């Protein structure tokens, strides 16, 4: 059971990445191709992470920290392309600069790279929740007649919203929990946090499969 919960998300991610290949041959919009990029990179990073921890028996938190910064910036860039409101776009651009500076300061002077960067996770996660909410709002007020269930970015936002809403409280307290309640932290990360990750990858999979074709103007 432990192994299933530990490696399950990576297996789902591998399937999602495979399904994502078709977006390259299907006239898919650029942001969806970018979602495929992030799945591919995440799969490689996850594989490498497991290699470091399970084979080399070393800490891989620095890798997770670096990827966290990269993934939040990259996903914010996807939202920059799919969101239409100028104020939100401007907010994303401001966040970009501020987040890079913050991540730099946090990595060098505050939390470092050896422990989990809880501050980065909370700030990035809350911003992801905000961007998902902004996309839902855009869908709600949009005059378009398309069904939201056929919109890949609806599924992407849905997944990100649930993933970060479920994980922000845990990763916000991660260092404290790990220090004081190690077993509980490992249990929570293996079962609860990985369940959220599995859910996210499943929704990415739906995002890749929810449409057969993409019109040229999509």
Partner 1 sequence: MQEKLSEVVLILIGSTLTTLILATLIILSVFIGQRRKFRHRKELIEMKSNYDKEVLRTQLETQMQTLETISRELHDNVGTLISMAMVHLKSTENTRQTTEANQMLDEAMEILRDISRSINPDNIQKRGLSQSIRNELDRIRKSGQYKTNFTSEGVEFAIDPQNQVILFRIIQEALNNILKHARANEIQISLIFKEPKLSITIADNGQGFLFQPEQGDSISHSGLANMTKRARLIGGSLEIKSKLNAGTTIEIQYPAFITDLSKEKYHKYGMHKEPVNTELTSS
Closer residue to partner 1 (CB): 36 or 201: 201
| Distance (Å, whole) CA 15 – CA 43 | 10
Binding status of residue 123 toward partner 1 by CB under 8 A: no
| Torsion region of 117: left, alpha or beta (phi above 0 gives left; psi -120 to 50 gives alpha) | beta
Binding status of residue 148 toward partner 1 by CB under 8 A: yes
| Distance (Å, whole) CA 45 – CA 63 | 8
Closer residue to partner 1 (CB): 78 or 168: 168
Closer residue to partner 1 (CB): 174 or 208: 174
Q: What's 53's DSSP letter?
A: I
| Torsion region of 28: left, alpha or beta (phi above 0 gives left; psi -120 to 50 gives alpha) | beta
- Tell me how far CA of residue 189 lies from CA of 59, 104, 162, 198, in angstroms: 16, 26, 16, 12
Which residue from 2, 26, 104, 133 is in contact with partner 1, where contact means CB under 8 A? 133
Binding status of residue 121 toward partner 1 by CB under 8 A: no
Which residue from 80, 166, 197, 201 is in contact with partner 1, where contact means CB under 8 A? 166
How many residues appear in the chain?
Answer: 218
| Distance (Å, whole) CA 89 – CA 81 | 8
Binding status of residue 170 toward partner 1 by CB under 8 A: yes
Which residue from 188, 195, 202, 214 is in contact with partner 1, where contact means CB under 8 A? 188
* Residues within the interface to partner 1 (CB under 8 A): 129, 132-133, 136, 139-140, 145, 147-148, 154, 158, 161-162, 165-166, 168-170, 173, 177, 180-181, 184, 188, 192
């Amino acid at each position: 059971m432990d192994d299933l919960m530990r490696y399950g998300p990576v297996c789902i991610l591998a399937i999602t990445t495979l399904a994502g290949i078709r977006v390259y041959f299907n006239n898919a919009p650029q942001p969806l191709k970018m979602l495929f990029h992030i799945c591919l990179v995440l799969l490689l990073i996850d594989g490498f992470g497991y290699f470091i921890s399970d084979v080399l028996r070393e800490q891989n938190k620095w890798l997770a920290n670096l990827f966290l910064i990269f993934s939040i910036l990259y996903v914010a860039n996807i939202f920059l392309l799919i969101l239409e409101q100028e104020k939100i776009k401007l907010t994303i651009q401001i966040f970009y600069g501020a987040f890079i500076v913050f991540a730099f300061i946090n990595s060098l002077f505050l939390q470092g790279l050896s422990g989990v960067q809880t501050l980065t996770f909370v700030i990035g996660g809350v911003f992801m929740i905000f961007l998902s909410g902004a996309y839902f709002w855009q869908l709600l007020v949009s005059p378009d007649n398309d069904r939201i269930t056929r919109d890949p970015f609806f599924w992407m936002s849905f997944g990100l919203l649930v993933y970060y809403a479920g994980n922000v409280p845990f990763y916000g307290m991660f260092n404290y929990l790990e220090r004081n309640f190690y077993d509980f932290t490992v249990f929570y990360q293996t079962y609860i946090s990985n369940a959220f990750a599995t859910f996210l990858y499943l929704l990415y999979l739906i995002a890749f499969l929810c449409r057969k074709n993409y019109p040229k103007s999509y």
